[in-house]
A and B are shown apart, each in its own frame.
Chain A
C-alpha cells in the first residue's frame, strides 16, 4: 500500500501515528491517574449542597405559654458585581435600612461575589427593600430567636447569637437539645448558580430542636418583676433580685434580676445587665443568715426559745473587737434575739454551739456548694473550714459575716425551714420533650435530705412569724396570710478590706403562710439608697408579691387574727434601754 508513496507523506503519517500514540498515553493517564480529581472538579461546578436549618426548640413556662420561639426573618445580601449604580443603590438602601450610605457603598464596592447588608430584618424593612427593586440585591430567610415577653425572665432564658447558638441562660445550658441537627439537600445548579428544581438527588432532613418546659409561671414572674422593678427604682439600688420558690418541690416559680435586658436585642445592653445575680453573685448575707445559727442551736438543743441572753445594751466587746446592735437591748429571750435581730444575742448563743457544729449546719443547709439549679454560671459562695477561723469567726459567721452565699442558697435554706426541715434542690426545668410531645428528659425533684427535725423547723417558723408580726419585718405583713421571714442588712466590704458604712446589701427571705407554707420569696437589693434596711426596702416587695400570688392561686385569707407564740410576759423582759433607744433611733428602730 505504501509502496511508491513519497517519503514526505510517510513522514506525515508517522507523525500522525505518533501524535495519536501520545493522545492514547494521555487518555490512559487521564482515565487511570487523574480521573478522580478531575471528576471532582467537574462535579463541584454543577453540584449544589443546600443547608437545611433546623427549628430551634420552643421554651414554655409551666402553663405551656411560649417564652421563646423561632421565627424566620429575611436577611439582605448583595452580589456587588451585579449592582450597576452603586452610589444610587447605597443612597436608597441607606434610607430604608438605617445604615450609613458610606458603609453600604463600601460593601457594594467590594470585589466579592457576596456581601451581607443586613441580617434578620423586620418584615416591613424587607418589604421596603424589595420594593426598591435593585438588581444584585437579594434575600435569604434565616431563623431568628424571638422572645414575645421581652424582658420577662430574660436572665433565665438567656439569648442566642446571630447563628442561633445559645449565649446565656438556659439557651446556653441546653443548647445541644434546643438547636437540633442541621440537614442537607444535594442538588444540581445551572450556569447562573441557581438550583435546578426537580434534580435533587439526596436529601437529609433536619432534626428540629427539642422543646423545653420550665417550672416558671409567667404571670408570677411578671408580677414579681414588676414589684422588684418598683423597689429597685425607688431605692436607687445598684442591683436587685427576687426568687419565688415552692418550698416542697424546689420548683422556681419566678426568678428575676435588676438591671435587666431585652433578649430580643441583647447586644445593646452592657454585660453587667445580663449577669444572673441570683446564681452568679455571692454576698455576705448579714442577719438573714441568723436563721442558720438559730436552727442549729435549736436542733442541737444548745438553746431553748425561752432562754434569756443579755444583749449588753447594744455594745459588746469580745476578743478586742466591739460588736453593736442597731437598737440596744437588755435581757431577751432567744426567740426575741432573732425577732429583733440582735447581733450580740446571736453571737452569745452561737458560743454555746461551737464552731464545728455551726460549720456542720452551714454545710448541711447547702452553703459553700452549688445548689445544682439548671442555670449556667452558678457559684459556690465561700464558707471556710473551722480550722482556718479566727477567734472572732464564730461570732461573725453566726450573724452572717465572713461567709458569702448566693440568693438561691438562701432561698433553699429558707425552704428547708418552711417545709419541715428538708433541704430541696431548686429546679427550673421541668422537662425536655420533642416536637411530638414525647419526653426526652424529665428533671424530677430530687429527694430532699433532712437538715433539721420537724419540731425545730416548726419552732423556727414560729420565731420567723414573730419577726414579721412584731419584729424587724413588719412591712412584710400580709393581712390574713401570716407570712414569716427574716430581714438582713449587711455592710459590704470595701476594696480596702474594711466594712463600708455607706454600702449595704439588704435582704428579706420569707415564706407564706407561716403555718402551711406555699411559697418562699427571697428579695435582695444591692446598695439601696437612701434607706438600706432589709425590713424597709425588701420587705414591702415581699408583701406585694405575696399578696398577689396568694390571690392568683385563689388562696383565701384567714379570718382569725394571728396569735403570737411568744408568751405575753416575754416582751416585758426586754429592758428599758430599748424604749429609750427607740425614741432616739426612730428611723432605724425596727427594720434591720
Chain B
C-alpha cells in the first residue's frame, strides 16, 4: 500500500468536487423547478383571470339578452308592442326547390334575368 498521504489528495479532491458538483446541480435543479412552477402559476393566474373575465362578460350578455331586461328597456323607451292582427301577418312559403339542369341552377338563372 502507498503510505504517502499526498497520493490520496487527488482522490479526496475528486470526491469533494463530485459532491460539490452534485450539490450545485441539485440546488440548480430546485431553482429551476421553482422558476418553472412560478411561470406555470403566473400563466395559470392569467388564464384564470381571463376565464373569470369571460364568465362575467357572458353573464352580462345573458343579462342584456334576458326577456326581463329587454322588457324593462322597451318600457323605458315607451315602446309598446302588440300582437299583430291576422291581416298583418305575411306567411312566407318555403323557397322553391332548386332545379339543376345541365349544371345550371334555374332558380339563379331566373334571378339573374
Binding site for B on A (CB under 8 A): 66, 69-72, 123, 141, 146, 148-152, 196-200, 218-219, 222-223, 226, 547-548, 551, 557
* A123 CB contacts on chain B under 8 angstroms: 53, 56
A218:B67 contact, CB within 8 angstroms:
yes
A199:B59 contact, CB within 8 angstroms:
no
In-complex Cβ contact of A197 among B41, B52, B65, B69 (8 A): B41
Q: In whole angstroms, what is the CA distance A576 to B3 when docked?
A: 143
B59:A146 contact, CB within 8 angstroms:
yes
* B19 CB contacts on chain A under 8 angstroms: none
Counting CB contacts under 8 A, is B62 at the interface? yes
B66:A149 contact, CB within 8 angstroms:
yes
* A197 CB contacts on chain B under 8 angstroms: 34, 37-38, 40-41
Counting CB contacts under 8 A, is B63 at the interface? yes
* B35 CB contacts on chain A under 8 angstroms: 198
* B100 CB contacts on chain A under 8 angstroms: none
Q: In whole angstroms, what is the CA distance A71 to B86 when docked?
A: 45
* A71 CB contacts on chain B under 8 angstroms: 52, 55-56, 59
A152:B68 contact, CB within 8 angstroms:
yes
Of residues B35, B48, B55, which shows the largest number of chain A Cβ atoms within 10 Å of its Cβ?
Answer: B55
Say whether chain A's binding surface is mostly helix, strand, loop, or mixed: mixed
Q: In whole angstroms, what is the CA distance A323 to B44 when docked?
A: 76
Q: In whole angstroms, what is the CA distance A200 to B62 when docked?
A: 38
* A226 CB contacts on chain B under 8 angstroms: 71
B83:A548 contact, CB within 8 angstroms:
yes
Of residues A123, A150, A198, A218, which shows the largest number of chain B Cβ atoms within 10 Å of its Cβ?
Answer: A198
Q: How far is the CB of A353 from chain B (nearest CB, A)?
A: 43
In-complex Cβ contact of B62 among A69, A141, A196, A222 (8 A): A69
Counting CB contacts under 8 A, is B58 at the interface? yes
Q: 15 additional contacts, CB 8 Å, given A141-B52, A148-B63?
A: A123-B53, A148-B59, A149-B67, A152-B66, A196-B37, A197-B40, A197-B41, A198-B33, A199-B33, A199-B34, A218-B67, A222-B67, A222-B68, A222-B71, A547-B83
* A551 CB contacts on chain B under 8 angstroms: 83
Q: Whose C-beta in chain A lies nearest to the C-beta of B53?
A: A123
Q: How far is the CB of B51 from chain A (nearest CB, A)?
A: 8
- Please provide the chain B residues from 72 to 88 with a CB less than 8 Å away from any CB of chain A in the complex: 83, 86
Question: What are 27 A-B interface contacts by the 8 Å CB criterion?
Answer: A69-B55, A69-B58, A69-B59, A71-B56, A71-B59, A123-B56, A146-B59, A148-B66, A149-B62, A149-B63, A149-B68, A150-B69, A151-B68, A152-B68, A196-B34, A197-B34, A197-B38, A198-B33, A198-B35, A198-B40, A199-B33, A218-B67, A222-B68, A222-B71, A547-B83, A551-B83, A557-B86
Q: Whose C-beta in chain A lies nearest to the C-beta of B42?
A: A197
Q: In whole angstroms, what is the CA distance A149 to B59 when docked?
A: 10
* A149 CB contacts on chain B under 8 angstroms: 62-63, 66-68
Q: How far is the CB of A540 from chain B (nearest CB, A)?
A: 15
Q: In whole angstroms, what is the CA distance A146 to B59 when docked?
A: 8
Q: Whose C-beta in chain B lies nearest to the C-beta of A480?
A: B86
Counting CB contacts under 8 A, is B36 at the interface? yes
Q: How far is the CB of A265 from chain B (nearest CB, A)?
A: 14
The 9 lowest CB-CB distance pairs between A and B, nearest first, are A198-B37, A197-B37, A148-B62, A222-B67, A149-B66, A72-B52, A198-B33, A197-B41, A148-B63
* A148 CB contacts on chain B under 8 angstroms: 59, 62-63, 65-66
Q: How far is the CB of A63 from chain B (nearest CB, A)?
A: 12
Q: In whole angstroms, what is the CA distance A69 to B55 when docked?
A: 9
Q: Whose C-beta in chain B lies nearest to the C-beta of A223?
A: B67
B67:A72 contact, CB within 8 angstroms:
no
Q: In whole angstroms, what is the CA distance A72 to B45 when docked?
A: 13
B55:A72 contact, CB within 8 angstroms:
yes
Q: In whole angstroms, what is the CA distance A66 to B53 when docked?
A: 18
Q: In whole angstroms, what is the CA distance A150 to B41 when docked?
A: 36
